[in-house]
Structure 1
């Protein structure tokens, strides 16, 4: 399964990145997260571990696998039979920023997980995108 969503935000890429990189604050602006705990402080770095709790799902351990500061980060969560990756990309536009969020699942159980949780996964990605936009546009208004 792969799902992408894109949202335009009336805020600079630096402002968007600042909110996006502060993953522990996500539960304050997106209903798709109940808690996020990092194992390190400061900027996100490859190899860092993050525990994410989401409504109606078991807690998941994510490992940051790639960071392009100010532009993107990817993290990966592994469970038996499924590897899930989430990518967050910030790009400048004439009026602010464009954010693309992607979730991908691979592995022998990915099709089953997609059937069981695909709708919830897509909703959570949409909620995250809308929450990010609302957080930034409200703050800069």
Structure 2
């Protein structure tokens, strides 16, 4: 299953990227994250691992698998029967900076987890986008 949400932010792309890619600070600005524990040091990089606790969801460890500095990162969380990929994209446009979040759930249990948590997943990525917009524009 695939979920996606995008929001246009009235802030420079580098500012939006700075907020979006600093995953350790996510609990400070989005209510969809209870806690973040970086399992390595520094800014996100290929192979970086992070443990995230979210309300109503199992604790997950995410590993960065793709990174285009200033534009995009993707990370993957694996559990028995399911692989979840989260994408985070920042795109400068004449109307503002578009921040896009995607969640893709695959594997034998991916469709089941996706169905069971579809409304929650979509609500979370939309709320994260709204929160990202607010914190980026307020700076």
TM over 0.5: yes
2:32 corresponds to which residue?
32
Q: Deviations over 1:33-74 (max 9, x none)?
A: 011111223221111110000001121011110110000000
2:2 corresponds to which residue?
2
- Compute the TM-score of the two structures, normalised by the length of structure 2: 0.96
- CA-CA distance at 1:108 after TM superposition: 0.6
2:61 corresponds to which residue?
61
2:76 corresponds to which residue?
76
Could you list the runs of 5+ residues in structure 1 that have no partner in the other structure? none
Q: How many residues align?
A: 139
Secondary structure, aligned partner of 2:11: coil
RMSD (Å), alpha carbons: 1.0
Aligned equivalents of 1:70, 1:62: Cα separation in 2: 19
Aligned equivalents of 2:45, 2:136: Cα separation in 1: 23
- CA-CA distance at 1:103 after TM superposition: 0.4
Aligned equivalents of 2:118, 2:21: Cα separation in 1: 25
Aligned equivalents of 2:71, 2:24: Cα separation in 1: 18
Aligned equivalents of 1:130, 1:33: Cα separation in 2: 14
Aligned equivalents of 1:95, 1:15: Cα separation in 2: 15
2:113 corresponds to which residue?
113
Could you list the runs of 5+ residues in structure 2 that have no partner in the other structure? none
- CA-CA distance at 1:113 after TM superposition: 0.7
